[in-house]
Structure 1
Amino acid sequence: MSTGRFVNSMDPRSGLEVIRDWNGVAQVVLRSPKGASARVSLHGGQVVSWRNDRGEELLFTSSKAIFKPPNAMRGGIQMCFPQFGYSGTLERHGFARNRIWALDDEHPPLNHNDNGSKVSVNLILKPSEDDLKCWPHCFEFRLRVSLSKDGDLSLISRIRNVNGKPFSFSFAYHTYLSVSDISEVRIEGLETLDYLDNLSHKERFTEQGDAITFESQVDRVYVSSPNVVAVLDHEKKHSFVIRKEGLPDIVVWNPWEKKSKTMVDFGDEEYKQMLCVDAAAVERAITLRPGEEWTGKLELSAVLSTNCSDHLDHPAII
């Protein structure tokens, strides 16, 4: 797999560090003072890399990923809007992840807050004429991606109805986490919740057991979920702490062996090294009246597993 990146440059208009993939699509690079980094592609507004201060890649990208618009790359964090999955009449996961976004001129593209603890990029997506033909609603989708001084990654989406009539949508941050071995991973925070099983025609079940572990294909939507969930990786001895706001659901997906072999942009054995845990609004559509705006927030932290319970017991507001 190669993105064929060119030499880094500075965008004179925004002051952002920008690289370009082999298709010429810009990617914005965010760097923390301690050495963590993230890359955000203008193709789909997709976060294509998130590395800690040791240079370890924390997001999964398939070795067979296709880096060619208009299709989204298999991996990273994808913006699923205005539809998740095949729940409506649009293309799978909606069109936002397949479009070219723009730097948002109305907000400072590179933003340090008062204590200089975050570096950010602001992107914007508006519908094209073709988009309006298949989904006739005018919107403004603003996305801010930030990297904290400690390497935490946060995404804030703001979707505004600039239409003359209400519209409804579903949404997800489709997040591919890199794990050592899926059989050594568990999720905490979803115990006893109801979930919709996409492998059983969205039949509703109730989760049993102390934590979620993996030994076969999983494709579930956990509804009315807590705002903090943890993914524990025993072999790497670290955990992902997922914090969310405005997103009531958590989607958990791993294709396992049989499904993996049917995907052209996914390796046959790669299911062992990835897990999707998506902050989402899927079960109930979000409806915006003219002029209304919705906000959905996600924050990802990678912490030592021994400290994980502290994050679950004391959720921070993002």
Structure 2
Amino acid sequence: MNCSSLVRDQSAKDAVKITKDKNGVDLVTLQNPRGFTAQVSLHGGQVLSWKNERGEELLFRSSKANSKPPAAVRAGIPICFPQFGNRGSLEQHGFARNRIWEIDYNPPPLHRNECDGKAFIDLLLKPSEEDMRIWPHSFEFRLRVLLTCDGALKLISRIRNIGCKAFSFSIAYHTYFLVSDISEVRVEGLETLDYLDNLHHKERFTEQGDALTFETEVDRVYVGSPHMVGVFDHEKRRTFVIRKEGLPDAVVWNPWEKKARTIQDMGDEEYRQTICVDGAAVEKPIKLKPGEEWTGRLELSALPSL
């Protein structure tokens, strides 16, 4: 059986459920046999929740998050496309996270190892006339969100140029991990790397520490990062493992106290409960000629640590 059709099979009904949120937008709930769950909103094609087999939430959601379209939702994994940051006529972090996606019932086939179980959904974003006015490029953005049999969360993205001229884009999966306290967190896998510091006009520095810890605001793009990065939460004794392909950079962000107070959709003290570590392609935008396709893969695991 072609795995792209599993979402429509009778046997997949318990793994994939579609409801409406309070704004009438489709909300997809995925559940694997072990009891892990994920919720994906068609508003932004955004993962809003990821829970382990004990029902413990693994992703942060602000108590002040605005979930009414077209506002971006400060929760889970917003998709920043076709740009990360703020430049030109495009809104900050692009428009993908603000648009209503559709369920893709006929996606092109994927490899069997990208169909692990029946708990997945395929989504599709195409540009509207409004999008074409501000970013005049024809594309198809296909996204598969998948819960593996062992509870890992996978996002497999394919962006195809269906127009007649080349275009470039940057992209980031702005992942808000839920942590006990930011002061108890360290990030490993970024040591000795160069990073662009957004707090210093994107000036390039080199990471000096053995691990990244947090005592103040951080907003960095680590370039040429390895395909695996670890986020260690000492108090929860939990390690988030981030695996990525086609995403050469890693964005690390925490607003800290002063910046958090200026963010309307974030509580003053909520910076303590989250850290963003993103799989991204930022420093060198991805260029697609007509007919070309880019694929990026992000896999998140939550493991016990000593």
TM-score, normalised by the number of residues in structure 2: 0.93
Kindly indicate whether the alpha-carbon contact (under 8 Å) linking 2:19 and 2:26 is maintained by their aligned counterparts in 1.
Answer: yes
2:61 counterpart letter in structure 1? T
8 Å Cα contact 2:126-2:141 kept in structure 1? yes
Separation in 2, partners of 1:191, 1:25: 42
Counterpart mapping for 1:1-318 below 5 A: 15=13, 16-107=16-107, 117-306=117-306
Question: How far did 1:114 drift?
Answer: 9.8
Contact 1:156 1:295 in 2 (8 A): yes
Measured after TM superposition, the shift of residue 169 of structure 1 is 0.4
Please tell me whether the aligned partners of residues 115 and 146 of structure 2 are also in contact (alpha carbons under 8 angstroms).
Answer: no
- For the residues of structure 2 that align with 1:112 and 1:194, how far apart are their CA atoms? 36
- Shift of the 131–233 alpha-carbon distance from structure 1 to 2, 3 Å rule, reads same
Tell me the matched-pair count.
296
Q: By how many angstroms is 1:246 displaced?
A: 0.2
Q: Call closer, same or farther: CA 1:88–1:279 in 2, change over 3 Å.
A: farther
Q: Please report the RMSD computed on the Cα atoms of aligned residues, expressed in angstroms.
A: 2.1
- Structure 1 stretches of at least 4 aligned residues deviating more than 2 Å after TM superposition: 10-16, 111-118
2:4 paired residue number: none
* Distance in 2, Cα, partners of 1:297 & 1:282: 15
Q: Which moved more, 1:49-58 or 1:11-20?
A: 11-20
Distance 2:212 2:70 in 1: 35
- Inter-partner Cα distance in structure 1 for 2:116 and 2:193: 39
Deviation, structure 1 residue 117: 3.4
Distance 1:162 1:58, change over 3 A: same
Return the offset for 1:105: 2.0
Write the distance in 2 (CA, Å) between the matches of 1:214 and 1:246: 27
Do the aligned partners of 2:103 and 2:123 also contact (CA within 8 Å) in 1? yes
Deviation of 1:31 after TM superposition, in Å, equals: 0.1
TM-score by length of 1: 0.89
- Partner letter of residue 34 of structure 1? R
Return 5+ residue gaps in structure 1 as ranges. 1-9, 307-318
* Equivalent pair of 1:112/1:119 in contact (CA under 8 Å): no
Q: Matched residue of 1:77: which SS?
A: coil
Tell me if the contact between 1:11 and 1:18 (Cα under 8 Å) persists in the aligned partners: no
Contact 1:112–1:118 (Cα < 8 Å) also in 2: no
Q: What's the CA shift string for 1:221-267, capped at 9, x where partnerless?
A: 00000000000000000100000000000000000000000011000
| 1:79-105 CA distance string (max 9 Å, x none) | 111011114430001001100000002
How high is the sequence identity, in percent, across the aligned residues? 66
Cα deviation, 1:107-133, whole Å, max 9, x if unaligned, reads 399x99799635210000000000000
For 1:184, the aligned partner's letter is E
Task: State how far apart, in whole Å, the 2-side matches of 1:66 and 1:232 are.
Answer: 29
- For residues 269 and 218 of structure 2, the distance between their equivalents in structure 1, rounded to whole angstroms, comes to 16
Deviations 1:172-226 (A, max 9, x none): 0010000000000000000010000000000000001110000000000000000
Structure 2 SS opposite 1:183: helix
Checking the alignment, whether the CA contact within 8 Å between 1:146 and 1:155 is kept in structure 2 is: yes
Contact 1:184 1:234 in 2 (8 A): yes
Matched residue, 1:7: none
